[in-house]
Amino acid sequence: MSFDPAVAATLRGVSTATITTILLKQGVRRTWMHGPRPLPSAAGKRIAGPAFTLRFIPAREDLATPESWSSPKSTRAAIEDMPDGVVAVVDAMGLAGAGIFGDILCARMVQRGVAGLVTDGAVRDVAGVIGTGLPVWSAGVAAPASVAAVTFVDWQQPVGCGGIAVIPDDVIVADDDGAVVIPKAMLAEVLKAGPEQERLEAWIFREVQKGARLPGLYPPDAATKARYEAENG
């Protein structure tokens, strides 16, 4: 899995709000994940990278055991398979009664070069997690270990996170407004439209600050577009 650093840099300049609007215009509405919110380590940051998916199912006593952490199919093994620059997207089915990852696993993800973690579950050892510097979006914090609520089953499969379908190698962007998925086939459209939309809206914002009225300005009518293009080349 490779991801062009220039693509990541471009996406870090486009807000999740803008991305959802671009995708809405393409007919894709379900892109924003319900539940994941930034921990302090992610506040004010925007990350972008290909989705590396992990999947949990509900805990069952014979499967969800501390011994399972040493299994070849474990979160530990999945982390060792994560390429540099990915965003780990963890499907915990919205079960926030146990921490799927803690400080040690997050510290290893930092060493692996992972761009961030997005989950509809919870994390534990939260002070340590924040201390690793890994940008994390989660649905909460919980003291119990993962096996108290969920069983890890696999990685790099299609998952649902926060009610949104995520396919490995879809692109994730996350910021203070939450996390969104860009379908891989629509990445080119976001890269084309996103930066220009940000420039346009920054200009509109400045016009509002000057006292401009909203009708015809936002969204811009033909006359406003012509004025914008004349002023911005």
* Same-domain pairing of 27 and 135: yes
Q: Average pLDDT of the chain?
A: 95
Binned at pLDDT 50, 70 and 90, residue 178 comes out as very high
* Residue that wins the pLDDT comparison between 61 and 121: 121
pTM of the model: 0.94
Count: domains in the chain: 2
* Same-domain pairing of 10 and 71: yes
* Same-domain pairing of 178 and 193: no
* Same-domain pairing of 36 and 130: yes
Binned at pLDDT 50, 70 and 90, residue 2 comes out as low
CATH number at residue 78: 3.50.30.40
Domain of residue 204, residue span: 189-232
What pLDDT, on a 0 to 100 scale, did the predictor assign at position 30? 97
* Same-domain pairing of 49 and 124: yes
- Distance (Å, whole) CA 190 – CA 182: 8
* Same-domain pairing of 135 and 210: no
Q: What does the block give as tokens for 191?
A: 């890269």
The string of pLDDT tens digits covering residues 72-131 is 889 999 999 999 999 999 999 999 999 999 999 999 999 999 999 999 999 999 999 999
The answer to whether 86 and 67 are in contact (CB under 8 A) is no
Please give the full DSSP string across 80-144, using - where no structure is assigned: HTPPTT-EEEEE-TT--SSEEE-HHHHHHHHHHT--EEEESSEESSHHHHHHHT--EEESEE-SS
* Same-domain pairing of 179 and 204: no
* Same-domain pairing of 127 and 150: yes
Residues 6+ apart with CB under 8 A from 233: none
* Same-domain pairing of 219 and 117: no
* Same-domain pairing of 47 and 128: yes
Mean pLDDT of 150-156: 96
Mean pLDDT of 181-202: 97
What pLDDT, on a 0 to 100 scale, did the predictor assign at position 101? 96
Give the phi and the psi of residue 148 in degrees, each rounded to 5. Answer: -70, -20
